[in-house]
A and B are shown apart, each in its own frame.
Chain A
Amino acid sequence: MLLAGIKVTIPLTIISFSIAMVIAVVVALVQLANIRGLKQLARFYIWVVRGTPLMVQLFIVFYGLPNLGLVIDPFPCAVVVFSLNEGAYCAETMRAAIQSVPQGQIEAGYCVGMNYLQIMWHIVLPQAFRTAFPPLSNSLIGMVKDTSLAANITVTEMLMTTQRIVAYYYEALVLYCEVALVYLLFCTVLTWVQRWGENRLDITRRKGAQA
């Protein structure tokens, strides 16, 4: 069970969340940069993904797309759906965080000769990421547990593995409690990582006074 967790649940979470972060930053920037057409596309993406259940999205991609001749293996399929789903939520988190960075710094960036992307990369995103870190950690922890939905599209992650063991031994209470504990363990570790990360990112606590 723990092995299934380490071999499937954790990689599924890490890969999907990494892709989701890239999607989130790009979608957030596209909206803020006010690029015609792309902005509408970004809004549409967020609207659709946030407005439909994750499970339904999994079913459409895994069971639905083969009707169009597009067959994807269970694991990559789960990665695609989780990334797109999480990306939409995180895009909104990032957008709010970017907007919370005092905008005068952008003007100052232009005035010293930087362009939009340089300002975003060196000045705005590092600060936005600090603000977004707690809500993003929230999303990540939520995602660890959402990966159990992948059992429905035959990805043998932790829950599916447990179901198989239960089917064999009929010890539902003990085994499901056990898998719950494993999820709890993963999320506890993430909570520690979050606390450590928040401290590291907090520049107001950083000692800058080296001469």
Chain B
Amino acid sequence: MKEILRVENIHKQFEGLEVLKGVSLTVNQGEVVAILGPSGSGKTTLLRCMNFLERADSGCLTMDGETFDLGRITKKELARLRRKTAFVFQNYNLFLNKTALQNVTQGLTVARKMPRAQAEEIGMAMLEKVGLADRAGYYPHQLSGGQQQRVAIARALATDPEVIYFDEPTSALDPELIGEVLGVIQQLAAEGRTMLVVTHEMRFARNVSTHTLFMEGGVVVEEGPTKEVFDHPRQERTKAFLQGQEESRA
């Protein structure tokens, strides 16, 4: 399997508080990596550092064969790297003054200067994929949370990224809307999309992800194929965390 993404030794602190204490991970093409862990474990920060929404203090990131020094990346490198990634936020962060279709095409027409007709064709195909082709002309405020998040996923897909980051994509949703979003992510996994998903949905992590990474206190406590981590966790902390999740659901 081809390695697509490698992160080495990321460090990040906020005003003296060390949030990431040297995190490393490797992702192969087509893998779905679930990042689990209690709140404050640094999983969201890790994801944000990987896409430079936060600037890491140090560390290296290799994407598709090209290595970037996270501590001192230039604007040009950053732009090049971001062309290969997409990010789905907890709060959707749709462009509120744009329709669903315009949200999806914005990265194509504005950032990549693609002709509008071509962009709209791609945009409609992506909305189709998330089951919202009939909502193309709606504004975000006219859509439910689940629909907004699906538009956000369509927006992420439009630029055909190598890797898609999901930061707790269902945490802001009403329980009955979670399923439709997870269903879309599951479908993408089946299509072989490479994804990193920070999540609290244990069942989803277990059923959909190929690899699981358990974080606590700014370090990776345990990682491995999902089945192994869930069925035979090696670390006591992982065991306790998974058990706790099991009980809270019961």
Contacts and interface: CB of A to CB of B under 8 A. Distances in A.
A116 to B, nearest CB: 10
A110 interface: yes
B93 A118 contact: no
Contacts of A130: 97
A127 B185 CA distance: 31
Of listed B82, B94, B106, B139, residue having the most chain A CB within 10 A: B106
B93 A107 contact: yes
Interface stretch (B21-29, B83-91, B215-223): B83-91
Interface residues of B, number: 35
A203 B82 contact: no
Contact of B138 (A104, A118, A208): A208
Contacts of A114: 106-107, 110-111
Contacts of B183: none
B96 interface: yes
B83 A105 contact: no
Given A122-B110, A126-B97, A203 B139 contact: yes
Interface string B74-107: 0000010011011101010111111100000011
A112 B53 contact: no
B137 A111 contact: no
A112 B139 contact: no
A126 to B, nearest CB: 5
A130 B95 CA distance: 14
A138 to B, nearest CB: 23
Interface in A87-136: 102, 104-105, 107-115, 118, 122-123, 126-127, 130
A109 B89 contact: no
A112 B85 CA distance: 8
A104 B91 contact: yes
B116 to A, nearest CB: 13
B194 interface: no
B93 A105 contact: yes
A113 B97 contact: no
B142 A112 contact: no
Contact of B89 (A108, A118, A211): A108
A36 interface: no
B134 interface: yes
A123 B97 contact: yes
B139 A208 contact: yes
Main secondary structure on B side of the interface with A: loop
Given A104-B91, A107-B93, A208 B82 contact: no
Nearest to A111: B87
Interface in A175-211: 203-204, 206, 208-211
Please classify the interface of chain A as helix (H, G, I), strand (E, B), loop, or mixed, using the class held by over half of its residues. helix
Interface residues of A, number: 25
A104 B89 contact: yes
Contact of B137 (A102, A109, A122, A209): A209
A102 B96 contact: yes
B159 interface: yes
Interface in B125-155: 134, 136-139, 141-142, 152, 155
A122 to B, nearest CB: 6
Contacts of B158: 112
Contacts of B52: 110
A203 B138 contact: no
B137 A210 contact: yes
A68 to B, nearest CB: 42
A115 B107 CA distance: 10
Contacts of A209: 137-138, 142
Interface of B: 51-53, 79, 82-83, 85-87, 89, 91, 93-99, 106-107, 110-112, 134, 136-139, 141-142, 152, 155-156, 158-159
19 contacts: A105-B94, A105-B95, A107-B87, A108-B93, A108-B94, A108-B155, A110-B53, A111-B82, A111-B85, A112-B107, A112-B111, A113-B82, A113-B83, A122-B95, A122-B110, A123-B95, A123-B106, A208-B138, A208-B142
Closest 3 CB pairs of A and B: A112-B107, A113-B111, A104-B93
